[in-house]
Amino acid sequence: MRVGIIGGKLQGVEASYLALKASWEVILFDKHPTPPAKGLCHMFHQLDVAREKEFKRYCEGIELMIPALENQDTLESLSHSADKLGIPLAYDPSSYAVSSSKIKSDRLFSDLGLPLPVPWPGAGLPLVAKPSGASGSAGVRRINTEAEFLAFRSSRTDLQDWVIQEFLEGPSFSLEVLGSLERYQTFQVTDLEMDHRYDCKRVLAPTVLQKSQVKEFRETALTIARRLNLRGIMDVEVILHKGRLKVLEIDARLPSQTPTVVYLSTGINLVKLLGDLYVGNTNLLSVPEDCAKQNPVQDHPIRGVVY
């Protein structure tokens, strides 16, 4: 299959690498001349895909588009182009609209009765403040004292666009869920090592979580996917705080870092499954629930994939 991957940064590296492992022909688009994924494709086009007329000239033969970026204007332009060209686009705009807003996603978790960090003003210090529309840990800050909190509040004119909640200590974990029309499959839980400078710096598998915790995590991810009517892939991140898993965030897009670890640890290629879903090669996923029993690409646990 010939796949167009839009964006060559961290998500683009993930998508391109796994597309190559699926034996697909990879056409990469990025507006910068030397994106990190440039060495992982058969053909590269330096191009702003929002320039639709120019972009369409390079789409001949492409059977699937995978966005590997988070710019809303570009995603809307890409959706318009893909629709006109009749090319499937691995993108669920309604689910993405929820997951790209921490305010909307926290409201969803609350409506579903899922455990999540206590929001301010019900939470005491320390607090964490997160800009609603930022990706990952961008702009996130920890607030330790009342003086810091007063200074933060007085310096902001957009508090309505921030999520403020209790700061939780503990290890973080990620889980992918993929499917459509309530036919969903979870995969391998991965453990995340975090860093104050680099956000997620290392992904580990298999998980240290107990079987009962993995089951709870899977049920949480499936509950969210069903409520969103997800079509495609989403990852869910939780934190283990005082023995309880609490939901931190979701991303209804191809994740970075974790799919490669799942592939190396289990042999399951999430990009291939995503492509099969969108081009109609499968209606039901056939991956066993306990995907840790799959054949790994390497013959030992993946205990330190560093990014």
- pLDDT per residue as tens digits for the range 70-122: 999 999 999 999 999 999 999 999 999 999 999 999 999 999 999 999 999 99
Angle ∠(93,86,49) on CA atoms, nearest 5 = 65
Amino acid at 278: Y
Token digits of residue 174: 């990620």
User: What is the 3-class SS of 149-168, one letter each residue?
Assistant: HHHHHHHCCCHHHEEEEECC
Strand partners, 11: none
pLDDT mean across residues, the chain: 91
Segment 209-221 shows an average pLDDT of 98
4-26 pLDDT per residue, tens: 999 999 999 999 999 999 999 99
pTM of the model: 0.91
Of residues 144 and 282, more confidently modeled:
144
CA 263 to chain centre: 15
Q: What domains does the chain contain, in order, with CATH numbers?
A: 2-91 (3.40.50.720), 97-112+170-306 (3.30.470.20), 127-166 (no CATH)
